[in-house]
Structure 1
Amino acid sequence: MKKLRTSLTALAVTAASLTLTAPPATAHAATEMGCQTSRAVLDFRDNTTGRYYCSGVHAVGKRADYFTANHWSGWLDTSTGDILFCDGERFSMLGVHVYNLVLNETRAGWCL
């Protein structure tokens, strides 16, 4: 797990390998560009679960305890900064507020 303190806009502009641009400040729904049977999963503090099957920007607006990427790469826009993730990662978030989840259509350039 890598954290960046840059804004989503700066990240989208400087990371030439991304297939997504920065999400609009008022994103309310996902803009789907590709879907798969594998899902990214957020386990929320309120004992609910978010499952995301399609690439794009997903407005979340909740506190999360765990994240599982499965076959996705992308980033989480959170109250503690952006968290980049790659396929197969699972990590604890301990109640961090997640504003947006961004799932790349293709593997992110920062993933080896």
Structure 2
Amino acid sequence: MIVVENRLFVADEYADQFVERFRDSMGKVESQPGFVKFELLTPANSETDSYISQTYWESMEDFEAWTDTDAFAEAHDDHPPKDMFTEPHELEIHDVAFERTAE
């Protein structure tokens, strides 16, 4: 399994709009083969403007296949205002080495 993490730096005045944009775009990825789950992490305090979008995929191939779909293009074609972001986003992809859950 992999985790695709997109760290986005959002200006305070756009925080609510940013979260709504993600909420409104959901429904496009859930039916994709290999998709496991999505999480949008918001800042827990005012010391950061960093939001983290995380998608979990069964494999890198599943994620790459998603990026070649019309649904992916539709989910990313609504361009936000340029001043919504304070810095360029940072994309990272990680393999899940192991996982623990509650008993």
- TM-score normalized by the length of structure 2: 0.27
- TM-score normalized by the length of structure 1: 0.25
Larger strand proportion of the pair = 1
Structure with higher Rg: it is 2
Larger helix proportion of the pair = 2
